[in-house]
């Protein structure tokens, strides 16, 4: 263990009271589930089932949705095997509660304290661990390595910024990556970076985000909104961050000059910001209805604030054009494949670092466009809604085709993991 990792472990042990205080504050603010706060300290909320167990860890919503098909395939292929999915956000927990396949459970991930890591592993005793993206927690990885549990990284991502940062801690990242038997990168570039950072085996077989199923929607609710909308033109700003709602509101005001009955849906990335956003929109003179308050979409509603969790599939199905947030006032963006696979024309800002390859691929395929500000956003939405219906349909079709272009990625991931998963049935029998 490097000097840095030893220091980190010592500081983590000293910081335990501060971590408890911090999580308590987050629970008060609704950012943690108070009733399940024990899970964050490794105290299980569910019994461990008999047989073999695969633990799949994802940081938040996007990663969790990406690995659910993998969890479902593993449990279907190994009848005596159960899967445990851990995440760290309330939003992901609510979403997963609606989508968990048979024999797949959810718990909150333990914080990276030595005692929490040991308590979690002692209870769940996983036979195989699959971590998604780039969640490198030193104490958890150290505890896993100490127990000799097979561990693989799936859909690994190492941004250029993260790669440069890890260059200053080469011994530490090499030590952590040494816990992984296999690292599967999202892209060849991710795999190459993982190898350069010290992964013993790194490869790319495709991006698991392409394997996710379309987000679901309640059929009755969808039909109710369609009746309320009738023939009104509409578009969606999805997963917006602070600062982007003002940009969307300005784009809406410009669109109203072309069609007074246009409806703008705003689905904030963090629904708890609903009150703040509603106040902003009211201050701009926009008639707004809020989903979280059960307010209906009326004939005079200009902006509908979709401030709930787990309903993005509904809003994507209602919108002809979708702007993907986190890409104008923030840098990173969110998953453009989600609206694409539901047949929407997709727009985003320039800050799509977290989905750079996907966004570039969609633009090259005529399936996505970049907008830089409120004016460009209004022009792009207006052109697609009011002037070029044929172009909008072609763009939506291209987006759907692109989202379905790597349908075999899950098979390739399963094949790459076969040496690690082969023993699951033997462990079940034992």
Report the pLDDT value the prediction gives residue 1, as an integer from 0 to 100: 64
pLDDT score of 430 more than 70: no
pLDDT score of 425 more than 80: no
pLDDT score of 422 more than 90: no
Which residue among 32, 63, 245, 338 is the active-site one? Answer: 63
Report the pLDDT value the prediction gives residue 428, as an integer from 0 to 100: 53
pLDDT score of 99 more than 90: no
Strands 368-370 and 345-348: parallel
Which among 49-63, 283-297, 327-341 has the top mean pLDDT?
Answer: 283-297
Report the pLDDT value the prediction gives residue 423, as an integer from 0 to 100: 78
Name residues whose C-beta falls within 8 Å of residue 405's C-beta, 6 or more positions apart in sequence.
210
Query: The tokens 């703008």 sit on which residue?
Result: 264
More confident: 4 or 130: 130
Average pLDDT, the chain: 93
What mean pLDDT do residues 299-311 have? 96
Q: pLDDT band at 426, cuts 50/70/90?
A: low
What mean pLDDT do residues 58-70 have? 88
Q: pLDDT band at 190, cuts 50/70/90?
A: very high
What mean pLDDT do residues 276-288 have? 97
Which DSSP helix (H) or strand (E) runs through 15? none
Ranges of each domain in the chain? 3-207+408-429, 219-403
Phi-psi region of 148 (alpha: psi -120 to 50; beta: other; left: phi over 0): left
Q: For the chain, what is the radius of gyration of the CA atoms?
A: 22
What mean pLDDT do residues 302-321 have? 96
pLDDT score of 427 more than 70: no
Give per-residue pLDDT as tens, 127-171. Answer: 999 999 888 899 999 999 999 999 999 999 998 889 999 999 999
Q: pLDDT band at 383, cuts 50/70/90?
A: very high
End-to-end CA distance of the chain: 33
Same CATH topology for 3-207+408-429 and 219-403: the answer is yes
pLDDT score of 307 more than 90: yes
Report the pLDDT value the prediction gives residue 193, as an integer from 0 to 100: 95
CATH match of 3-207+408-429 with 3.40.50.1100: no
So what's the architecture of 219-403 in CATH?
3-Layer(aba) Sandwich (3.40)
- Cα–Cα distance measured from residue 56 to residue 121, given in angstroms and rounded to the nearest whole number: 13
Q: Is 223 a catalytic residue?
A: no
Kindly tell me the burial class for residue 148, based on how many C-beta atoms sit within 10 Å of its own C-beta (0-12, 13-18, 19 or more): exposed
């Amino acid at each position: 263990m490097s000097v840095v990792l030893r220091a980190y472990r010592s500081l983590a042990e000293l910081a335990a009271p501060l971590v408890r205080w911090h999580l308590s504050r987050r629970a008060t603010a609704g950012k943690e589930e108070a009733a399940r706060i024990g899970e964050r300290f490794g105290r299980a909320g569910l019994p461990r089932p008999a047989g073999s167990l695969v633990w799949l860890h994802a940081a938040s919503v996007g990663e969790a949705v990406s690995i659910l098909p993998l969890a479902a395939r593993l449990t279907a292929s190994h009848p005596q095997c159960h899967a445990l999915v851990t995440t760290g956000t309330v939003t992901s927990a609510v979403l997963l509660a609606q989508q968990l396949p048979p024999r797949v459970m959810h718990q909150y991930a333990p914080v990276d304290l030595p005692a929490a890591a040991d308590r979690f592993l002692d209870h769940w005793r996983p036979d195989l661990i699959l971590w998604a993206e780039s969640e490198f927690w030193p104490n958890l990885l150290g505890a896993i390595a100490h127990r000799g549990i097979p561990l693989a990284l799936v859909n690994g991502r190492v941004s250029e910024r993260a790669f440069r940062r890890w260059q200053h801690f080469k011994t530490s990242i090499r030590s952590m990556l040494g816990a992984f038997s296999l690292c599967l990168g999202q892209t060849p570039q991710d795999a190459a970076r993982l190898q350069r950072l010290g992964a013993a085996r790194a490869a790319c077989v495709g991006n698991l985000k392409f394997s996710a199923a379309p987000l679901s929607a309640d059929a009755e609710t969808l039909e109710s909104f369609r009746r309320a909308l009738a023939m009104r033109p509409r578009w969606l700003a999805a997963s917006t961050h602070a600062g982007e709602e003002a940009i969307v509101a300005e784009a809406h005001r410009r669109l109203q000059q072309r069609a007074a009955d246009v409806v703008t849906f705003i689905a904030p990335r963090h629904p708890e910001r609903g009150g703040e956003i509603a106040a902003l929109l009211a201050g701009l003179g926009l008639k707004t209805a809020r989903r979280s308050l059960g307010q209906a979409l009326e004939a005079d509603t200009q902006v509908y604030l979709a401030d709930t969790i787990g309903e993005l599939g509904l809003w994507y199905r209602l919108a002809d054009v979708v702007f993907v947030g986190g890409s104008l006032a923030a840098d990173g963006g969110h998953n453009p494949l989600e609206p694409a696979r539901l047949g929407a024309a997709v727009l985003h800002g320039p800050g799509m670092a977290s989905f750079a390859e996907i966004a570039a691929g969609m633009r090259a395929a005529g399936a996505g466009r970049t907008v830089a500000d409120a004016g460009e956003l209004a022009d792009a939405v207006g052109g697609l809604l009011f002037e070029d219906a044929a172009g909008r349909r072609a763009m939506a079709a291209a987006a759907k085709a692109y989202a379905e272009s790597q349908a075999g990625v899950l098979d390739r991931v399963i094949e790459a993991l076969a040496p690690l998963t082969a023993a699951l049935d033997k462990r079940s029998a034992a």
